[in-house]
Structure 1
């Protein structure tokens, strides 16, 4: 039978052990949903402007990792990404919101106007780089949405949304890593099955 001193030591160490477990870095799979128009197959993969979506905060560097990640993925798919011009445009949104204990998402902390876009309301408020509070054990949902339009007609050719949850002390939480994770999953197997939601590890 443990001695009184041993029992006291175990009792005192338990909260610290639980705290250590609770603060372990964690990142979940990426959930993606994509829609594509029939006319996407007819559209050449030529010059495409990669821009921040209308209504998003254009100032500062918060969106740059997401723009860069989308640009790399589109180039790998055979597009010619440019800052302006082109026959198509890729509009990028990104945002973060803390996940509550019941699994629901708190409204994103927004530094932009936000809003909805496309056929399934994929708009998210930008909250990149903002301290949401709660310490290193807080779990945050990071999302990115991309809409590809015909530059002249403004017809939506393709759109997708990707999101994943991670603790704020995980490597994937860092903005550039988060952007790479989201863009890689979003454009994997492009254009994907229209209307299908899948998880990518």
Structure 2
């Protein structure tokens, strides 16, 4: 029984640490030519007024643009490029959450010390960490890089992921970093190709 108790304790600890990480679906488009670098600023896509949530996405995009070789400027300082960034978050109803861990407890044969071949056997299996269903938060980030002069779009991309509302991955700050990192992975990427980034 001690071994069963130890196994149960270990599984409970594992269930507490288990998190489901959803992949990010990324699609990018460009002209197939080398993407020019230079000074760039991030601006809201469309006419939506910036918000605190937008600030999380803008900061994540700025960080990835810097990694991609751009010199990020704050404010409208006559940069060579503008990165229009926008995001959406929507809820959809999800199904029951499946348990990440299943434990099986079995009883071996017992014959009272005799080799009679008779025995008792049984098994019990139950899930740990499962829960009721909840809303799925679908987060999407869109970025369009254009030259300031002439408004010529030289690159654009979209990244989308989802997570249960109770999962930390659904929080705006975490989702923004995850989406931006996936969107700019291997920048500029293959034009017109949809990839999955884990």
Place the TM-score, normalised by the shorter chain, in its bin. 0.5 to 0.7
Cα deviation for residue 100 of structure 1 reads 4.0
Question: What secondary structure does 1:48 align onto?
Answer: strand
Structure richer in strand, relative to its length? 2
Q: Return 5+ residue gaps in structure 2 as ranges.
A: 1-14, 96-131
Does structure 1 residue 139 correspond to structure 2 residue 129? no
1:42 and 1:64 map into 2 onto residues whose CA distance is 26
Q: Return 5+ residue gaps in structure 1 as ranges.
A: 1-20, 103-134
Partner of 2:72: 81
Please say if residues 50 and 92 of structure 1, whose CA atoms lie closer than 8 Å, have aligned partners that are also in contact. Answer: yes
Structure 1 segments, 4+ long, off by >3 Å, are: 24-27
Cα deviation for residue 47 of structure 1 reads 0.3
Cα deviation for residue 89 of structure 1 reads 0.4
Partner of 2:186: 189
Name the TM-score, length of structure 2 as normaliser.
0.67
Partner of 1:18: none
Please report the RMSD computed on the Cα atoms of aligned residues, expressed in angstroms: 2.2
2:137 and 2:35 map into 1 onto residues whose CA distance is 39
* Rg comparison, structure with higher value: 2
Structure 1 187/42 Cα, relative in aligned 2: closer, same or farther at 3 Å? closer
Indicate which of 62, 66, 69 corresponds to 2:53.
62
1:57 and 1:147 map into 2 onto residues whose CA distance is 17
Cα deviation for residue 68 of structure 1 reads 0.2
Cα deviation for residue 27 of structure 1 reads 4.0
Name the TM-score, length of structure 1 as normaliser.
0.66
Question: What secondary structure does 2:53 align onto?
Answer: coil
Question: What secondary structure does 1:63 align onto?
Answer: helix
2:150 and 2:30 map into 1 onto residues whose CA distance is 16
1:42 and 1:168 map into 2 onto residues whose CA distance is 37
Question: What secondary structure does 2:175 align onto?
Answer: helix
Cα deviation for residue 77 of structure 1 reads 1.2
Partner of 1:162: 159
Q: How does 1:89-104 map to 2 (within 5 A)?
A: 89-100=82-93
2:136 and 2:195 map into 1 onto residues whose CA distance is 21
Partner of 2:25: 31
